[in-house]
Amino acid sequence: MDDLCVGVQGEFFDLPLPPDRMMRILMALSLISLAVACAQKDAGKGLAKLSGRAANPENLFTDDTPSESGMDSTYYIGYVDYFPETREFYTAVYYRDGHEYPDEDLLESKLDSVIALEADWGRERLPMKEAKKMLQLTGLDTLSVFNRRHELVCRCPLTRVEYLWNGLESYFIAVFRSDGKAFEQTEELYGMSGHFPLNERSLFTVEEVNDVVYNEFVRQKLNMSAAMQWDMRHYRIVPSETVYSVISSHETETDEVMSYLAFNEGNNVRILNQELNNFQFLNILPVPVHMNGKPLLLISAGYPSSDVLWDYLAAFDGTRYEAVDYNRIHFNDITPRWRGIFPAKATAHAVGR
């Protein structure tokens, strides 16, 4: 792999890379791909799995089992970011089963072109033929991108799959061509499979609550120690007036870590999820798709005092929020009137941790 070719917005041309730059690229891929693969596995394969079966009308993806109804009923939901230099949106993708710990030499041999290269980060193309073997791409042929207010930003077709890397992390991404309009990302974005039926959403607005009085109210309701330092973020959902809270504490002297996802309805505050001496919940983005009476959540998490961060889609199972396998849901799980049309085995089921 002596030469790579550089491409922008689908145009590619040969560009020989200097040996020192080539070595830096290969060393970065070798050192960090395995660690990130483990982090992505932990984030995407959680306690609850939602499995779906998708038809492949364009034969772009490799789900081997067609839908018995002839309809594609598996949907992706995940965070989205933006490349201003190429005016493209992108979202992280997950490894297929059996590829969670990829061979580094194999990865290096499959990346065939450079999309962008700077001193400390780069974007390299993975051919779609290879991407279909290694990665979960179902539901990503087109992506509808929304802002936090659930307003449509772009409906974008899949352009290619890339390997995005820098000195701290690296991962595969699906890249989507924008509509060409000027766009400046000033807030979090999320995406849903372009074929998701938007009439199945239950729209609401989310307001972040920054109020020390409310912090104290929550602390007292949950009987949390006043002697500890608690970091809290609260998200009020309107019009329901329910509030989700992310609450964390990290005692550096003892290295004790406590993190909670809490819910307040009618001044009844209760803990839905807790992580003790594990990772911390950092941020949530409620999505206007409900399961078991509560919205799906995009959750950002990380280990304290580290650069290990990830995000994942979570669904309410009636008691707590559980990670959704590969950030994909099935129509049968969110719309009761369709049960019986789609296969019963596509419903959620809990597995041990």
CB count in 10 Å sphere of residue 30: 13
Express each pLDDT in 198-247 by its tens digit. 888 999 999 999 999 999 999 999 999 999 999 999 999 999 889 999 99
With tokens 């602390």, the residue in question is 219
The model carries a pTM of 0.74
Q: Are 187 and 285 in contact (CB under 8 A)?
A: no
Identify the three-state secondary structure at position 339: strand
Q: Are 275 and 8 in contact (CB under 8 A)?
A: no
The pLDDT > 90 percentage for the chain reads 55
Round to whole Å and give the CA distance between 89 and 327: 17
Residue 24 above 60 pLDDT? no
Round to whole Å and give the CA distance between 59 and 129: 11
| Identity of the residue numbered 235 | Y
Q: Mean of the pLDDT values across residues 98-115?
A: 78
Q: How confident is the model at residue 252 (pLDDT cuts 50, 70, 90)?
A: confident
pLDDT for 104:
57
Question: Which among 5, 4, 7, 3 has a CA at the least distance from the CA of 175?
Answer: 7
The HSE-up count of residue 91 (CA atoms within 13 Å, CB side) is 35
Q: CA angle, 148 as apex, 138 and 268 as ends, to 5°?
A: 105
Q: Mean of the pLDDT values across residues 290-310?
A: 92
Sign of the C-alpha dihedral computed for residues 285, 286, 291 and 293 taken in this order: positive
Q: How confident is the model at residue 36 (pLDDT cuts 50, 70, 90)?
A: very low
